[in-house]
Structure 1
Amino acid sequence: MSHLAISTPVASRQADPAEAFQGLVAEHGLRVEEWDTSALDEPLRSKFVAFCVETKGDRFIVVPAGQDPAHRLAAVRALLAHPEVTA
């Protein structure tokens, strides 16, 4: 007689990165600005992921237009966790 181990995987639905990004932006009161990076030299264009600008009490997150939502989310999380990087 053989025993069959039955495992029931826990259904873990990961949040859509675009939705998570919008939630993070709303939670922190950020404004998002998308920039067309096509005018940048390739070395800069391929390395630009996001930056933060504060002006007149507003916090802007500037991201490349058409950026992958998962990369965008990760970049903004990193900026929020380490604001000194943009100083």
Structure 2
Amino acid sequence: MSESTGGTGEGTRAVRAGLPEPVKNEPTLPGPVFAAHFHLPGDVEGPYTYGRDENPTWTLLERAVSELEAPGRDDVQTL
């Protein structure tokens, strides 16, 4: 197995890509995100517009693909 920067193997990079650095006593993976095209009254503004265009799962996927295609470069847009 070839070693990448930081002493992490390629397999580990592929599995951990897009995820935040682990924090002691915190969950290793983000929890599920239940998304829909609509919102309940009172919560009009938020960080995401749920649906096909943007949600937390897409954000993690985009970050993972970016890290795998160009490690160390945060300015790459893939999707």
Structure 1 length-normalised TM: 0.27
More helix by share: 1
Q: Which has the higher strand share?
A: 1
TM-score (norm 2): 0.28
Larger radius of gyration: 1
